[in-house]
A = this chain, B = another copy of it.
């Protein structure tokens, strides 16, 4: 479409604008396969927990592994800056909201300690979990520490990660070299465009995280103007993955990361072409999460330009109940696995690959969760 003059702009879609059409055959949810493979690692269910300090610590990483999912730990967060990370988290939780961003900025100025990186890896391994830690491109030396300590995979991620970084002063990671030499799968993100995803795959990424400012309320879009609505980001990226697969023979899964809150969001992300989903808030709202019902993003601690703040999400259920149910409410935030399988079955998709091509419709947007909660409360009070 033309915005004005000769300036073209493409209409991009968010997951909220989509709805899935039922198939002409129904499939028994018990017969549906939803596994995910990243490099040589296999997961029974395609759910990853975001590398947020309020969501993932050693205990959560181990429990998610037990459940067939994957919890990514922030390799440059409180767990690797503070020996007693729980005390640091407690301080953040206790701070009044008006001053919490400056406090978070301060807490994250404490240096990352290589010995703590190694220790966290060992603790997760000792607990029977898959040890996967996340680092920024400039923290790749720390990533090597994690690998040496036995990490099963590494995540290299920033708000936007591209193959090339131009600077007169700093040099960034040599991604192809790093992927070649890591010895473990390297998950890279975030990216959102066809070209960007393709370059990361060609650089050797074992998996790409998809999502930049995907949610309607995402502060990246407010602060920087930057953001691609998630449905378009995932479909564009899935095209890049399929084209790269056809050319190279290597299938690099893509993970929808950001703005996913409900079972419906998960079903739609897969239908758009994702191989899995990464979630922060649902994990942060588990009984086991270190944030005790609070979470904050990786960019909240930015010294000059914080994006995101501490959000209270409450403690709703155990990780097992969140993933496998039973659901005791109807708001789509419990039993994600059950919802994905039932949604796939209703669409007539027996495999993740089939789900990636079911019929999608563009539909009038649902009211936001906030509004719906207000409505539910009103009804609740009345009832």
Task: List the interface of chain A (C-beta within 8 A of B).
Answer: 1, 3-14, 16-28, 30-31, 93, 97-98, 100-102, 105, 159-170, 172, 191-196, 199, 212-213, 216-217, 219, 221-229, 231-240, 242, 262-268, 271-273, 294, 300, 303-312, 325-332, 335, 338-339, 342-343, 346-348, 350, 359-368, 370, 372, 375-376, 378-383
Which residues on the B side are within 8 Å of A310 (C-beta)?
383
Q: Within the oligomer, what is the number of copies of this chain? A: 4
B227 and A19 within 8 A (CB):
yes
Q: Which of B14, B28, B212 contacts A168 (CB 8 A)?
A: B28
A303 to B331, CA, bound (A): 15
Most buried by B among A20, A226, A264: A226
Which residues on the B side are within 8 Å of A162 (C-beta)?
22-26, 348
Chain B residue with the shortest CB-CB distance to A167: B28
A20 to B192, CA, bound (A): 11
A232 to B8, CA, bound (A): 11
A16 and B223 within 8 A (CB):
no
Which residues on the B side are within 8 Å of A262 (C-beta)?
222-223
> Given the interface contacts A98-B380, A360-B3, does A335 sit within 8 Å of B305 by beta carbon?
yes
A-B contact pairs, 22 of them (CB 8 A): A3-B13, A5-B273, A6-B239, A7-B239, A7-B272, A12-B362, A14-B363, A19-B225, A19-B227, A26-B172, A28-B167, A97-B380, A101-B329, A101-B330, A217-B367, A224-B342, A224-B343, A224-B346, A225-B265, A228-B363, A303-B326, A305-B335
Chain B residue with the shortest CB-CB distance to A239: B5
Q: Majority SS of interface residues in chain A? A: mixed
Which residues on the B side are within 8 Å of A271 (C-beta)?
225
Q: Which of B102, B224, B331 contacts A267 (CB 8 A)?
A: B224
A271 to B221, CA, bound (A): 14
